[in-house]
Structure 1
């Protein structure tokens, strides 16, 4: 099917398994990775070394985190590429839902996934309904089962729309057995206590996966099948993880070169492993040393073992970055970026990350300890599966197997053939770090009020949200208050930056670095923009971080946040707010951002932590600054 989707959209929101509706109103399910890199003329998979090299992305930290050997960019479709391997290479999609209704006589007809053109008398339009389950399966709406029709074949069904405002005005009718039923209750979701509308009639999920083609059925599924609309927002939640490129350390460079050789020679590594399992370490090292020597690498047994252990875990590179015992795996991943971006990164060290430190205005030094200009950065975003009906935290322990089983009809067994789709974006940003001593002083001075505002139940909800990157322990009110402070300040600043730099709020993103670890705390955030253009962005954001401009920008942001047009309702502390009940004083008039800009989908926000309350300005971290 000839639809145009930007390459970055194939990571989110239109990754494999999603429904894309083209300009003609035809819904299409984006196919799994078996169907990517196909040639338009003959439907043959372009699986060659040249194509893989062109589309391969080197992001060692992400590959290590997900234990995946390779990341690949989606191909760009072109009819006349300078590189023959990329000419007419596409990402395939199938028509879905398969049921269409004739606008003249309201007959229902079912087509195959691969049907490219539908030609018949009258105008055939796709139905608006389908079915999903919480395990990620996707199916056509079970019209016959809903009606209770037991006729053979699929002819005789009609879908009549009475033009009413609810589903009771839409009726399915079988002309053969004369059974009919309205769609009332068909879209009712189930829970642990109640059945969904479909499950209540005994209609079970068949484990269908149409993005993997005809016959891509999964195991028999025990989750409840739920009727949904094609364009319903909870049909598809892409799971993505992003990283900021960091220049590798010297030891990482050495080991990465070794792993590249081992990945491409997995059969030789498998044979060498036999000797290691038998306890003959000398033969194991000799065989691998000869393999590496043939590729121009000379290294010690210790380096070989480090590379082999990293590869055995599915990692393409080891992680030499410092971590803390209290950090979760994702928080440790974020800490590596924190340790790099908070310091200067000169241009001669890396062409893909450049950080320049600048002085903080004296009047702000008691509140903010660092403001860095991130003149250039590279963000890599990888797609690692999806959820339906409700977003679930990404299970890193199940990677990459869970993602490969969901995205491939035939998941590759060989390590060097395993890959996930990703996209690179270049941009710029501002890194801001709050004064840690001042934060601790603020927490001590307002301990009673903050402990009451962020009570045990509230902090427990915060710590249960994996998207907030909570630590393994120490999730007390001090961590909760600190998180609310740093995160809300990021939002308040972004809301002001859009007026000063020319970017829209949807073009900006945040990256939070928050930890309450006693020895290695983090209290910073990165506001950045990134696009698919290799030249990055225009420089307006970085310019705002310069000393002479940052003071004015931050001052205006804080003063605007003091009063919300929804006050006093917004700042009242009667109950928790937000989709996860982890917000306090935050609404669309003051602190919320477009969901693409906030990494927690607008969770974990409280304006009072930054500027205080109308009746108690001193409660805010910047309360004394605003009173001057």
Structure 2
């Protein structure tokens, strides 16, 4: 990661989607920077990722002008000459917050006023830091000596995605003031609680505790939002949101809004699949001669591996098939899972593709009536795209794209490309018997649990000003989601992967002619660790039988019972019933719904609901 002058630190490319994307603060050891918008990135160094379904879904959200998905720029070698051109490959950043504090005398000032200097470290960028020139100590009686200056750890943020420096002069003077005195930051106690943190004006000697900047007091002591986007170097006019004081490094200062898709082969013919994957290159071609030039260019740049193995006339025929609507290009964000379900449940699923290798095995003994098929995905690829971000409040996973609140933009103008990454892994897909699931849904006890979850769902959405009649995924989803969590917790103990690197995709859509009832549990790592084979091996019938039995057995009793089993979603307007961290919650990175719509009573009998369990109403 680099600024316009020199490198200042390093992060993983995948972190630029999930943690340190455009508009996010990167809290480095000695300074803090904000990642600039994608219009400041070097596009030519951002390698494109081909995934037509995901690109089509991104366009439904950001517009048809989005031409590509691209990986963040990164250095190809760990050993780089700090004076070479490759040392400056990275993402542009700028220091933020602009206010710095001297650790010796407590002086507060903006770095561009000249009181602080940046000391660069070419060979160890993480050691680059600001210093206070000629600091004489807090009382001014010590020999002049440079002292370290660190970022002031207080900022302002609002729900519209704006981020600003903390108004130090405004705050200490309790409003607008003509005083231009220098400010000092000091501590009055041993603890770092806000009531022990003070800021003082040297000229008029007024001081104020930072405790007055948070909570209800902050609403009266802080100015209105200026609409600042530091990553775009601009101010928006007319923001009416009340800004809130946040700490540097706080998780609520940046929440990514992402969308993902599995790279699945949609067609039996390799040529059609290649053209589908690289449709952005071919959509404007009007003749076989143009196709010949495009194929030659793609082969030279290795932009679409495998396309050079096919003759131009065959590529042109596939393009004509797409343009004649034989292949559908429109994929919305809401139904992006439908093509995945069709491939995963195909009678003869693809078994040997570059990014998709599968093998069908028997369902485990004792679960033949519940689980129809098991598909071991020995190789798969997931592609994620960053659409935007929010601050203060996280985007709700259960809110549809039509209801999603405004998110902050990644670029000044309409995005022509969006940051993306791809991860490779392996997985286990379980398809459940539709007849058995439908019969279970018809049980009166199950309908009672659904009514409770629906009441909690309505109350939760009412409290947030959302339409209470939208967004409920149904009791089928809640059951599959709960079982997925129980199985993830069990798999994490034996598969050898970090629990946070195991993810889920739930297929529970019943709106079409082919109702869905399936779970995909898979690993997703940016390196080869995602394809070590440990997860697939546990999907074999003899292993899966044991793991399912253990997962169901552990779910019968929770260490938080009876409080856990007696929890009602309707009572506290929550989105889960009999579920907690002790029995069924998983890492936020693993769950596609943020640990919502989970009810252990839908899997096993509990004290409060002994007759609603999927594995209890009819013995396998």
Question: In the alignment, which of 236, 241, 248 is matched to residue 218 of structure 1?
Answer: 236
Match of 2:444 in 1: 446
Where is the helix percentage greater, Structure 1 or Structure 2?
Answer: 1
* Structure 1 residue 396 displacement after superposition: 4.9
Contact 1:261 1:292 in 2 (8 A): yes
Cα distance in 1, alignment partners of residues 461 and 579 from structure 2? 19
Q: Deviations over 1:54-98 (max 9, x none)?
A: x1110111111011321111122247689x986641112222211
Contact 1:259 1:308 in 2 (8 A): no
* Structure 1 residue 431 displacement after superposition: 0.5
* Structure 1 residue 480 displacement after superposition: 2.7
Cα distance in 1, alignment partners of residues 315 and 523 from structure 2? 41
- 4+ residue segments displaced more than 4 Å: 78-82, 84-87, 113-116, 149-155, 196-199, 250-259, 287-310, 393-399, 461-466, 470-473, 574-578
* Structure 1 residue 115 displacement after superposition: 7.1
Question: In the alignment, which of 416, 419, 435 is matched to residue 417 of structure 2?
Answer: 419
Q: Deviations over 1:388-441 (max 9, x none)?
A: 011235875799xx87x72123556xxxxx111111110000001221111121
Match of 1:99 in 2: 99
- Segment of structure 1 superposing worse, 368-377 or 222-231: 222-231
Match of 2:127 in 1: none
- Segment of structure 1 superposing worse, 350-359 or 200-209: 200-209
Question: In the alignment, which of 244, 248, 251 is matched to residue 230 of structure 1?
Answer: 248
* Structure 1 residue 254 displacement after superposition: 5.3
Matched, 1:319 2:329: yes
* Structure 1 residue 573 displacement after superposition: 3.7
Shift in alpha-carbon separation, 1:209–1:608, aligned structure 2, 3 A = same
The aligned runs of 1:120-135 (5 Å cut-off) are: 120=133, 121=135, 122-135=147-160
Match of 2:3 in 1: none
Shift in alpha-carbon separation, 1:503–1:20, aligned structure 2, 3 A = same
Question: In the alignment, which of 551, 565, 570 is matched to residue 571 of structure 1?
Answer: 565
* Structure 1 residue 461 displacement after superposition: 5.5
The aligned runs of 1:35-434 (5 Å cut-off) are: 35-37=40-42, 48=44, 51=45, 55-67=47-59, 68-77=66-75, 78=77, 88-112=88-112, 116-117=118-119, 118-119=130-131, 120=133, 121=135, 122-148=147-173, 150=176, 155-163=181-189, 166-188=193-215, 197-201=217-221, 203-212=223-232, 215-249=233-267, 259-262=280-283, 307=323, 318-319=328-329, 329-343=332-346, 344-348=348-352, 350-393=353-396, 396=401, 406-411=409-414, 418-434=416-432
Cα distance in 2, alignment partners of residues 619 and 577 from structure 1? 19
Cα distance in 2, alignment partners of residues 29 and 355 from structure 1? 42
The aligned runs of 1:390-539 (5 Å cut-off) are: 390-393=393-396, 396=401, 406-411=409-414, 418-447=416-445, 450=448, 454=452, 456-460=454-458, 480-517=474-511, 519-533=513-527, 536-539=530-533
Shift in alpha-carbon separation, 1:497–1:252, aligned structure 2, 3 A = closer
The aligned runs of 1:588-607 (5 Å cut-off) are: 588-607=581-600
Shift in alpha-carbon separation, 1:587–1:604, aligned structure 2, 3 A = same
Shift in alpha-carbon separation, 1:547–1:301, aligned structure 2, 3 A = closer
- Segment of structure 1 superposing worse, 552-561 or 433-442: 433-442
Shift in alpha-carbon separation, 1:255–1:562, aligned structure 2, 3 A = closer
Q: Deviations over 1:550-569 (max 9, x none)?
A: 11111111111111111111
Q: Deviations over 1:353-410 (max 9, x none)?
A: 11211111352111111211011000111111110011235875799xx87x721235
Where does structure 1 lack aligned partners over 5 or more consecutive residues?
A: 38-46, 189-195, 266-286, 311-316, 322-328, 413-417
- Segment of structure 1 superposing worse, 108-117 or 427-436: 108-117
- Aligned CA RMSD, in angstroms, stands at 3.8
Match of 1:40 in 2: none
Cα distance in 2, alignment partners of residues 361 and 184 from structure 1? 59
Shift in alpha-carbon separation, 1:99–1:459, aligned structure 2, 3 A = closer
Shift in alpha-carbon separation, 1:294–1:160, aligned structure 2, 3 A = closer
* Structure 1 residue 160 displacement after superposition: 2.4
Where does structure 2 lack aligned partners over 5 or more consecutive residues?
A: 1-6, 60-65, 120-129, 136-146, 295-311
Cα distance in 2, alignment partners of residues 369 and 511 from structure 1? 18
Shift in alpha-carbon separation, 1:301–1:577, aligned structure 2, 3 A = farther
Question: In the alignment, which of 596, 604, 615 is matched to residue 611 of structure 1?
Answer: 604
